Homo-oligomer: A and B are copies of this chain.
Amino acid sequence: MDIFARVRQISLINTTGSILSWDQETYLPSGAADYRAQQLSYLAAHAHELATSAEYLAALDEAESRDTGGNPVHSANLRELRRESDRSIKIPTDLVARESSAQSSAHHAWIKARKEADFSIFAPHLQELLEFATEKAELWGYPGEPYDALLEGFERGTSTATIATMFDTLQAELAPLSANAVAKTREQKPTLPDGPYPISVQQDFNTLVAAEIGFDFHAGRIDTTTHPFCTTLGPSDIRLTTRYESHDFTSSLFGIMHEAGHGMYEQGLPGEDFGLPSGTAVSLGIHESQSRLWENQVGRSPEFWDKFYPIAQEHFKQLKDFPKEKFLQYIHRAEFSPIRVEADEATYDLHIILRFQIERMLLNKEISVAQVPDVWNELFKKSFGFAPANDACGCLQDIHWSMGGIGYFPTYTLGNINAAQLFSAATSDPEISHATSAANYAPLLKWLRENIHAHGGVHDPAALMKKATGSIPETSHYLKHLSARYL
């Protein structure tokens, strides 16, 4: 088998694992968790074995030696497979096993620590995972600082210094912007008419909206989970999930628009290259740009609601006499909340910047794990004006660290930055701008398909942004968007 056949075969196994994980989150009976873990673990080990086998490496060598460079996509695929393979090979198998076991313990400890709002329960586990992260960074190597090596796994070709510079700019601008936005909200006191907003009606409305913006239900579906996500089970099998609040239909709706953004990216990747780098999303920062674009640039725009508010009114009788202007105030409200996942556009990035700063200080050994709660609360107070009531709604709130995901957080804000930059570039075309203003999103999706989706992972994310918009990621479009929305 040549290297591509091998990669596609591994992809069959990995997507099979994704089916099992999806089922675990949606429909698995309560007593079936242990056996499901065994099934998943078998598949993961089997895929890992194939991807690190001598035969795999020989096939990659062989393909590289034959590559004439005549087909840039072919060469890019080999380059990326080599990059992934090198990263895998540098980490000894026993380290992978030890880290996986540590993550499992850390995850359980994190659940307990968060429940009891007691950081000391989680601290030794975070210490262990930090040591694994440091060890891996040293094995991988880095141009500037250890955090670079971790970031590379989520946003290849992007340096910590670049992120830090963008985040500094953003933080400086967000301080007055968020204060202003929150003050306006406190003055307007926006509310939504009382529920219940029946869940089945929410589902109908969400499905209608997702289909209207371009999510293909022949190649995907929506189910219900505690934590919303998008997962790819095959080239034409993209599953979204959301959760429902009976008192607020916008919660599940924006959740679905967000996940549909991820899903349309997956649906727009070249299906014939499924499993190969050229058929795979390039990075988390680009992925998140797609979700945030549809959730925020589109879903929270007045133009979107010019078309969809009357339809929402037909679905939810409470909205019948509720003015659209009041509704827009409600979906544009801003507040200083300790919880990231509840944050609005005006404050969300402040949560991310804080996490990035702490992760970076930990990796650079500028602070110890024991200092995390104090540093968290101090930084939080600077941005939000108050300290979280306890660590459960402070440094223990997110699952990421407990899963070893250090270096992941910055891609959320990078997604926001990219979303605004892409939306701005797309709508600089008058035809797209005109259609988008009329809530006709087919031209916008077409632009994203051609400029982002179709390229898969052929270019590095910053290069892809430059190709699409004329510039590598930069904060100006995003700041302009936030100012227009909140000031």
Contacts and interface: CB of A to CB of B under 8 A. Distances in A.
A12 interface: yes
Interface residues of A, number: 35
B43 A235 contact: no
B237 A30 contact: no
Contact of A237 (B29, B217, B237): B29
Contacts of A13: 42
A32 interface: yes
Interface in A13-48: 13, 15-16, 19-20, 23, 27-32, 34-36, 38-39, 42-43, 46
Query: Is the contact region of chain A dominated by helix, strand, or loop, or is it mixed?
Result: helix
A219 B42 contact: no
A251 interface: no
A112 B192 CA distance: 55
A236 B31 CA distance: 6
B221 A35 contact: no
Nearest to A271: B35
A138 B220 CA distance: 47
B12 A42 contact: yes
A9 interface: yes
A234 interface: yes
Nearest to A27: B221
A216 to B, nearest CB: 8
Contact of A23 (B12, B23, B36, B216): B23
A316 to B, nearest CB: 21
B35 A218 contact: no
Given A38-B12, A39-B12, A42-B13, A236 B19 contact: no
Contact of A220 (B20, B29, B218, B223): B29
A14 to B, nearest CB: 10
Nearest to A274: B35
B12 A217 contact: no
Copies of this chain present in the complex amount to 2
Contacts of A36: 234, 237
A233 interface: yes
A10 to B, nearest CB: 10
A46 B42 CA distance: 13
A43 B29 contact: no
A284 to B, nearest CB: 24
Contacts of A234: 32, 35-36, 39
Interface in A42-61: 42-43, 46
A34 B46 CA distance: 23
A24 B15 CA distance: 14
B19 A219 contact: no
Interface string A201-224: 000000000000000111111010
Given A16-B16, A19-B19, A221-B27, A236 B32 contact: yes
Interface in A360-380: none
B32 A15 contact: no
A380 to B, nearest CB: 41
Interface in A37-90: 38-39, 42-43, 46
A157 to B, nearest CB: 30
A35 to B, nearest CB: 4
Interface string A127-158: 00000000000000000000000000000000
A237 B24 CA distance: 11
Given A15-B39, A16-B16, A19-B19, 6 more contacts: A13-B42, A29-B218, A29-B237, A31-B237, A32-B219, A36-B234
30 contacts: A9-B42, A12-B38, A12-B39, A12-B42, A16-B16, A16-B39, A16-B42, A16-B43, A19-B39, A23-B23, A27-B221, A27-B223, A28-B237, A29-B217, A29-B218, A29-B219, A29-B220, A29-B221, A29-B236, A31-B218, A31-B236, A32-B219, A32-B233, A32-B237, A34-B236, A35-B234, A35-B237, A36-B234, A36-B237, A39-B234
Interface of A: 9, 12-13, 15-16, 19-20, 23, 27-32, 34-36, 38-39, 42-43, 46, 216-221, 223, 233-237, 274
What are the nearest 3 A-B pairs in CB distance? A35-B234, A32-B237, A31-B236
